[in-house]
């Protein structure tokens, strides 16, 4: 249930604790979406699994828990307005023997954010130096719709 100002009918993901959902709404995050963002699909497919939040990846045992459960960005899906960081991440996955085994064919996705709230992390955290990083909190039940706005990025993109 939303305890925020106004009459919001859209809910943030139910795995997010209620007090964190409230902080997200109060943080300045909005439904003002970005038309071109990038994300790495570590498993090499354009699928819903590639868009779950960091917190959900931790809950599912996909990644180790090295994140603060107090920081609202932990509950977001990270995307970037520039492909540079994603290209670096893919190169890191390919160089590491351990990660290359776990994620043998990562791909770069491009598309637009939708069906949720977005916020540049640097707008919320004053010493956050990457102005291209976007926190995206996808609404409950909207993951499938959000994924439809993405495609696998070609080298020339």
Q: How far is CA 95 from CA 89, 98, 100, 106, 123, in A?
A: 10, 9, 7, 12, 32
Query: Cα separation of 54 and 75, whole Å?
Result: 6
Q: Could you tell me the pTM of the whole model?
A: 0.89
**15 contacts: CB under 8 Å, gap ≥ 6:** 53, 55, 56, 59
For residue 139, the 8-state DSSP code is B
113-to-99, 100, 119, 137 alpha-carbon distances in Å: 27, 28, 11, 10
pLDDT digits (tens, 9 = 90+) for 59-107: 998 888 899 999 999 999 999 999 999 999 999 999 888 888 888 899 9
Mean pLDDT of the chain, nearest integer: 91
Provide the H-helix boundaries in 96-142: 97-102, 121-124
């Amino acid at each position: 249930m939303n305890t925020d100002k106004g009459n919001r009918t859209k809910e943030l993901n139910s795995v997010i604790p209620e007090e964190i959902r409230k902080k997200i709404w109060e943080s300045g995050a909005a439904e003002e979406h970005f038309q071109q963002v990038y994300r790495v699909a570590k498993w090499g497919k354009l699928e819903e699994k590639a868009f779950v939040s960091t917190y959900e990846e931790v809950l599912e045992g996909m990644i180790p828990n090295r994140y603060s459960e107090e920081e609202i960005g932990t509950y977001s899906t990270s995307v970037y307005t520039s492909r540079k960081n994603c290209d670096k991440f893919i190169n890191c996955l390919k160089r590491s023997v351990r990660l290359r085994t776990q994620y043998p064919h990562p791909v770069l996705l491009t598309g637009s954010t939708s069906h949720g709230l977005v916020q540049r992390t640097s707008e919320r955290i004053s010493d956050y130096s990457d102005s291209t990083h976007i926190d995206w909190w996808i609404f409950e039940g909207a993951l499938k719709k959000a994924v439809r706005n993405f495609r696998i990025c070609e080298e020339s993109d």
